Amino acid sequence: MTAVKFNVPFESLIEAITSLDLEKKRQLLEILEDLLFEEEESIEQELQVIAEIEAARKAYQMGDYQTIQGYIASQSSKNL
């Protein structure tokens, strides 16, 4: 499917939608709901990542972290 992008005044878009028959309006509604779901899911994932980054920064500032050297040392002591 080839997409063509162009600007349509919102009022013209509303007029075009109101002129559609019921079946076409239902198809459009389904498309819009799918697009909205995808965008909302993307936003939720972004917010979750931001929250995780903030939590990691707070933990680091409080000294709640392990250096790579500490991790390697703890792993090598487990293997003994």
pLDDT in tens, 11-70: 999 999 999 999 999 999 999 999 999 988 888 888 888 898 899 999 999 998 888 888
Residue 1 has pLDDT above 70, yes or no: no
| pLDDT band at 80; cut points 50, 70, 90 | low
Residue 27 CB neighbours (<10 A)? 11
Q: What is the pLDDT of residue 45?
A: 85
Cα-Cα-Cα-Cα torsion 33, 35, 47, 5, nearest 10 degrees, comes to -150
